[in-house]
């Protein structure tokens, strides 16, 4: 009985570790205030659209950068996730992952734009130009303003060698496939202090609404193996 209980405890412990740790989270609450303890920048928090009542609004000339930095190498793998809830017509918005030297050193760039006659497009770049300027069309018909018809969840996962991109909610990609998975070419130094940055680089209307920013880590397989062996050794010793 004790052995069975020990195995259950071991499986539960490993499952908890494999789900990863939350490193950063902001769903912007319901107070309508920009949390300067979490963010640098001059973005706003509005009360439209978020399920909890709060949502971040980035207009032209505004930006938001996480005060916290994230070490991909130490974590094993880190996923940066956020929702885009609305993007105004003729609007272009950027999301950067930056290296430890600051916002001007751009490792990864995601660009979204909404052209009235084309729909909503997204591009993935290494820095400003790399990865062959990979572009996808998420919606062929522009969503009506603040209708919540545009609700894309972006998931970018980095480990020591690769980047994986998944877009959830794109009408053109049912089933939420992985759109890109390949080597990123960054050094250990590049990956040691990444920050997440949102900014508006064009347009003149109501900007872009973001929600549910979440950064999580999952240990690499070697670390999981070591943790599992350690837990098993402790359980055997106690039994």
Q: For the whole model, what pTM was predicted?
A: 0.81
Asked whether the beta carbons of 163 and 184 are under 8 A apart, the reply is: yes
* Residue whose token pair is 């908890």: 16
Q: What are the distances in angstroms from CA 29 to CA 56, 150, 178? A: 10, 21, 30
Q: Which pLDDT does position 5 carry in this prediction?
A: 43
Asked whether the beta carbons of 191 and 74 are under 8 A apart, the reply is: no
Centroid of chain to Cα 92: 18
Asked whether the beta carbons of 107 and 129 are under 8 A apart, the reply is: no
Q: Which pLDDT does position 72 carry in this prediction?
A: 95
Strand-strand pairing, 152-159 and 91-98? unpaired
**CA–CA gap between residue 181 and residue 127 (Å, rounded):** 17
Q: Which pLDDT does position 70 carry in this prediction?
A: 96
195: enclosing H helix or E strand: strand 195-200
Q: Which pLDDT does position 65 carry in this prediction?
A: 93
Q: Which pLDDT does position 203 carry in this prediction?
A: 58
**CA–CA gap between residue 167 and residue 202 (Å, rounded):** 22
40: enclosing H helix or E strand: strand 39-41
Centroid of chain to Cα 211: 11
Q: Which pLDDT does position 67 carry in this prediction?
A: 94
Q: What contacts 16, CB < 8 A, 6 or more positions away?
A: none
Each of the 239 residues of the chain gets a pLDDT tens digit; together they read: 545 544 444 434 444 444 579 999 998 876 667 899 999 999 988 876 555 668 898 888 889 999 999 999 999 999 999 998 877 777 778 888 887 665 556 888 888 888 766 778 888 888 765 555 678 888 877 666 656 667 889 999 999 999 999 999 888 888 888 999 998 888 898 899 999 999 887 655 568 889 999 999 998 654 444 444 444 454 455 55
**CA–CA gap between residue 53 and residue 96 (Å, rounded):** 26
């Amino acid at each position: 009985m004790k052995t069975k209980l020990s195995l259950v405890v071991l499986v539960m412990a490993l499952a908890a570790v494999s789900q990863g740790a939350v490193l950063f989270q902001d769903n912007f609450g319901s107070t309508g205030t920009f949390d300067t303890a979490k963010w640098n920048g001059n973005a706003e928090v509005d009360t439209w659209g978020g399920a909890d009542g709060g949502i971040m609004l980035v207009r032209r000339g505004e930006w938001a950068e996480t005060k916290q930095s994230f070490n991909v190498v130490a974590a094993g793998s880190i996923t940066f996730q956020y929702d885009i809830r609305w993007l105004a017509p003729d609007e272009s918005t950027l999301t950067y992952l930056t290296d430890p030297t600051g916002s001007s050193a751009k490792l990864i760039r995601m660009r979204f734009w909404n052209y009235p006659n084309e729909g909503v497009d997204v591009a993935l770049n290494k820095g400003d130009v790399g990865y062959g300027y990979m572009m996808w069309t998420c919606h062929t018909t522009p969503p009506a303003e603040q209708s919540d018809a545009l609700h894309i969840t972006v998931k970018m996962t980095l480990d020591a060698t690769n980047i994986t991109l998944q877009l959830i909610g794109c009408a053109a990609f049912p089933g939420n496939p992985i759109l890109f998975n390949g080597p990123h070419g960054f050094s250990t130094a590049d990956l040691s202090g990444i920050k997440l940055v949102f900014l508006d680089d064009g347009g003149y209307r109501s900007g872009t609404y973001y929600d549910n920013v979440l950064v999580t880590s999952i240990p690499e397989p070697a670390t999981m193996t070591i943790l599992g062996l350690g837990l098993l050794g402790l359980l055997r010793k106690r039994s």
